[in-house]
Amino acid sequence: MPRIYYKEDNGDGGLDFCNPGDQLPGFSPVSDLEELKALHAARYDGNREDGVSYYNELQAELYLSIVTGVYSVAQVVTLESYLKALGDEIKGGSWLTAQNTISNMAISGIFDQNFKDKTTNDINTYINENY
């Protein structure tokens, strides 16, 4: 079913969508393709900012796992290399692409099932709240 896109009436530039027939109070429908493109581009700016913040927190956790002796530097460097494509997608604001990528990643080293499940849950939560 196609989505109908809406922008906030108060001019914040917010963008939302709903199914045909639903009404969003405080929002007006947007059908102009150029305006929709601009609103989506602005939304991706926020997705990128959120992605950089998320990845910085992950790196801080990994650093602390080194200094507390949970993992070695070599283990964390190997993990960061393994997560490079996923990290680039998240930092680039492409959370849906990251969702697909992580679902196809095999368990490897300290990228164990718990790590994969937590990261997958974080990505899914972001998507559910922002897409």
Pair 110, 75: CB distance under 8 Å: yes
Is 10 contained in some domain? no
Is 22 contained in some domain? no
More confident site: 1 or 122: 122
With 90 as the cut, is the pLDDT of residue 55 above it?
Answer: yes
d(CA 38, CA 54): 25
Q: Which stretch of 15-24, 65-74, 83-92, 122-131 has the lowest confidence by average pLDDT?
A: 15-24
Is 120 contained in some domain? yes
Could you tell me the residue range of the domain that residue 110 belongs to? 32-130
Number of domains in the chain: 1
Could you give phi then psi for residue 28, rounded to 5 degrees? -120, 145
d(CA 2, CA 20): 7
Is 9 contained in some domain? no
Is 3 contained in some domain? no
Please give the C-alpha separations between residue 73 and each of 17, 62, 101, 109, 114, in angstroms, as whole numbers.
Answer: 45, 9, 25, 13, 20
Q: Tell me what pLDDT residue 87 has.
A: 98
Is 7 contained in some domain? no
With 70 as the cut, is the pLDDT of residue 128 above it?
Answer: yes
* Selection from 17, 50, 59 nearest residue 126 by Cα: 50
With 70 as the cut, is the pLDDT of residue 23 above it?
Answer: no
More confident site: 2 or 89: 89
pLDDT band per the 50, 70, 90 thresholds, residue 40: confident
Is 6 contained in some domain? no
What is the residue-averaged pLDDT of the chain?
89
Is 80 contained in some domain? yes
Single pTM value for the model? 0.81
